[in-house]
Amino acid sequence: MAVSLARKSLQRHLLALMALALVLTLFSGDLLGLSPGAAGRKAAAEPLPVQIDPARELARPPGPGVLQLGTYLTMIDDIDLLANHFGAEFFLWTRWSGPAGKNPSDQLAVLNAPSNNDIDRFELLERRQLGDVNWSLYKVRCRVTMPWRLQNYPFDRHSLPIRIGLANPFQQNVTFAVDQPGSSIDPEFLLYDWKISALQIDASAWSLRSQFGLPNQDSDGIAIQPVVDLSLTIRRRSELALVSSFLGDFLAVVLCILALIIRHSRDDLILGAIFSAAGNSVFLAQLLPVSALSGFTGQIQIIIYLGIVYVVIADELLDRIFSGPTEIAVRVLRPLLLPSYVLATVLAIYWITPANVFS
């Protein structure tokens, strides 16, 4: 009879482990579209757009007082989540049909990149007079301030903005236009940890809400400054960051499962789960800003710690309370501990997973 009960208990544990393996496989694989094969297929299916010939568009000169801008983005680097910035390098060309002496091209600046000598600069490479059009080519290197939103890490996506405008906010009588067909991203540009979309370039305006010490009683804004906005959307390759960022938490879950399976000497497994989860928390705290812990990252750690508390309570109940004369209660309770822990953990993680993962 005892052998039969032990065999049934072993079968229940094996079924629970098989269910966990199946759910984790679905959850981290095809269900989320995060498997390496799926990532490779998506990367292959989403190449950078082929650029069209801009010759016809460039043949038409801009009107008087209009500065036309186009860009060729070559690099995004120095993505720093803690310092809230990223680096960019690109070619910028301008076309001006007014008097060459009034060409405002040399007054351009990246408005959301603090000036830092050689790090943020416009380098004039060439200037030509093409009929009535004064054409200039610059190489721009900048470090752009970016307030990252990491509540969905590692399933996050970001729109990287680069705002180009005139350094002097009082300079007037200049209108911006964009060379949209000619602007693009270098086809050989890669971000190994990110998927990138096509470059967007638009002309817009920026209202300066300050008087700069000048008397201006009629309005809070001293000027509406024309700007050109570059935008590049990047999405993290979650299959690369998910396992590496939460490896300690996954190990803690495995150790908790083993603690619920093994009948004796569970304290070392529980202690190992605590140290694994704590080490993972320290790693994430060094990698991400505190604001990220209010989202998926912080919630999954809470789930892991609550699971460890559940295992500790179950261990104490089995060892101290349900022993001796209450052996029948132990036989009824023990087979339910492992499935309930696995089911609660999987459902809780599924519940906090960002909705855009499944879209």
User: In the prediction, which pLDDT does 11 show?
Assistant: 55
What is the spatial distance between Cα 214 and Cα 222, in angstroms, rounded to a whole number? 9
Residue 119's identity, in one-letter code, is: I
- 154 versus 321: the higher-pLDDT residue is 154
Q: What is the pLDDT of residue 223?
A: 67
Structurally, what CATH architecture does the domain formed by 49-237 represent? Answer: Distorted Sandwich (2.70)
pLDDT at 168 (0 to 100)? 83
Q: Which residue has the higher pLDDT, 319 or 20?
A: 319
pLDDT at 40 over 50: no
Q: Are 245 and 81 in contact (CB under 8 A)?
A: no
Instruction: Indicate where the chain has its CATH 2.70.170.10 domain(s).
Output: 49-237
Phi, psi of 161 (to 5 degrees): -95, 135
Burial of 124 (0-12, 13-18, 19+ CB in 10 A): exposed
C-alpha 178/C-alpha 186 separation (Å) is: 18
What is the per-residue pLDDT across 266-277, written as a single tens digit (0 to 9) for each?
Answer: 788 999 999 999
pLDDT at residue 21 tops 70: no
pLDDT at residue 92 is higher than 90? yes
What pLDDT is stored for residue 38 in this prediction?
A: 37
Calpha distance 333→322 (Å, rounded): 9
Average pLDDT, the chain: 79
Reported as a pLDDT band with limits 50, 70 and 90, residue 56 is very low
- Give the pLDDT confidence of 118-160 residue by residue, as tens digits: 566 788 999 998 888 999 999 999 999 998 999 999 999 999 9
Neighbours of 67 (CB within 10 A): 25
Most confidently predicted of 8-17, 27-36, 128-137, 166-175: 128-137
Give the pLDDT score at 31.
Answer: 38
pLDDT of residue 328: 65
**pLDDT tier at 171 (50, 70, 90 boundaries)?**
confident
Q: What is the pLDDT of residue 36?
A: 37
- Closest-CA residue to 42 (of 242, 245, 237, 241): 237
Q: Which residue has the higher pLDDT, 333 or 340?
A: 340
Mean pLDDT, to the nearest integer, of 95-108? 86
Q: Across the chain, where does the E strand assignment appear?
A: 66-80, 85-96, 108-110, 121-130, 133-145, 157-166, 175-178, 184-185, 194-196, 200-208, 223-236
**Of 191 and 278, the one with more pLDDT:** 278
Would you state the pLDDT for residue 64?
74
Q: Over 70: is that where the pLDDT of 217 sits? A: no
Mean pLDDT value across residues 171-185: 88
pTM value > 0.85: no
Task: Please determine, for residue 216, whether its predicted confidence score (pLDDT) is greater than 70.
Answer: no
Distance CA 235, CA 155 (A): 8
Tens digit of each residue's pLDDT (9 = 90 or more) over 264-313: 767 889 999 999 999 999 999 998 988 888 899 999 999 999 999 999 98
Per-residue pLDDT tens over the stretch 65-83 = 789 999 999 999 889 998 8
How far is residue 352's CA from residue 52's CA, in Å, rounded to a whole number?
Answer: 43
